A = this chain, B = another copy of it.
Amino acid sequence: MVALADRIKILAFDVFGTVVDWHGSVAREVATMNLGVDPGAFALAWRAGYQPAMAQVMERGEWVILDHLHRRILDRVLDDFGLDGLAPAERDRLNRVWHRLDPWPDSVEGLTRLKSRYLICSLSNGNIGLLAEMAKNAGLPWDCILSAENFRRYKPHPDTYLGVAKTFAVEPAQVMLAAAHHGDLEAARNCGLETAYIERPFEYGRDAPKNIAPWEANLLHASSIVDLARHLDC
């Protein structure tokens, strides 16, 4: 493990679900708006539009930042929930909830410890402005914010994972991606990155615990970002 800890130079983190609790944060904000809908179901419906929207952008070979995709999906979800009367200014405000997501309780401590030894960056499909405001709001101590927007490709496109290595002029094997999603990690491994799985059993809410069983392909499996710091002697 010491050899690994020395070889890795850059720790890149998936953000939604891995560092911040999107489900709890969106549900809480929806609850405060008293819209008369199930806040958890609303959050899940909004997030469910995320992968298809990005896939469509990539298929078309265009580039649209996530703030704009979130807004398109929101309009549809409001319709589905019978809330088509919500004013545009309120929609804009609600859409920016993704800039205000709360970190998991261990995220700030874990990142701060890892930062003492590694260069830590985001690698998220969130746009740069979203990630910067989220970091400021949540106190995430990134050395550098990297986003799909830097590469004009959404994960799991290889340009995103390889883009991290290129940005810092290191080999892919000197970058480790930490994420709570096996698909993201698998795509990173296919590009030569090292991978660490972070358990986030309640990413989809307390009522819908996620399977967090280890996959052997991941070099590290951690119960939290603080646990990842422990694995890496930080």
Contact segment of A36-44, A128-136, A154-162, A188-196: A128-136
Contact A143 B136 (CB under 8 A): yes
Which B residue's beta carbon lies closest to that of A120?
B136
Contact A169 B132 (CB under 8 A): no
What is the CB-to-nearest-CB distance from A88 to chain B, in angstroms, rounded to a whole number? 15
Assess whether A50 is interfacial by the CB under 8 Å rule: no
Please give the number of chain A residues whose Cβ is less than 8 angstroms from any Cβ of chain B in the complex. 19
Considering only residues 122-152 of chain A, those with a C-beta below 8 Å from chain B are: 127-129, 131-133, 135-136, 143-146, 150
| A168: B residues at CB distance < 8 A | 129, 132-133
Contact B135 A169 (CB under 8 A): no
Say which residue of B67, B131, B133, B169 sits within 8 Å of A129 (CB atoms). B169
Assess whether A167 is interfacial by the CB under 8 Å rule: yes
| A145: B residues at CB distance < 8 A | 144-145
What is the CB-to-nearest-CB distance from A48 to chain B, in angstroms, rounded to a whole number? 25
Contact B135 A143 (CB under 8 A): yes
Q: Mark A101-133, 1 if CB is under 8 A from B, else 0.
A: 000000000000000000101000001110111
What is the CB-to-nearest-CB distance from A138 to chain B, in angstroms, rounded to a whole number? 12
Which B residue's beta carbon lies closest to that of A133?
B119
In the bound complex, what is the Cα–Cα distance between A150 and B167 (angstroms)? 11
Say which residue of B129, B135, B144, B167 sits within 8 Å of A167 (CB atoms). B129
| A135: B residues at CB distance < 8 A | 143-144
Which B residue's beta carbon lies closest to that of A128?
B167
What is the CB-to-nearest-CB distance from A37 to chain B, in angstroms, rounded to a whole number? 27
Contact A121 B132 (CB under 8 A): yes
In the bound complex, what is the Cα–Cα distance between A135 and B132 (angstroms)? 16
CB-defined A-B contacts under 8 Å, sample of 12 = A119-B132, A121-B132, A127-B167, A128-B146, A128-B150, A128-B167, A129-B167, A129-B168, A132-B167, A136-B143, A144-B145, A145-B145
Given contacts A121-B132, A133-B168, A150-B150, 18 further A-B contacts (CB under 8 A): A67-B169, A119-B132, A119-B133, A119-B136, A128-B144, A128-B146, A128-B150, A129-B167, A129-B168, A129-B169, A132-B143, A132-B144, A132-B167, A132-B168, A135-B143, A135-B144, A144-B145, A145-B145
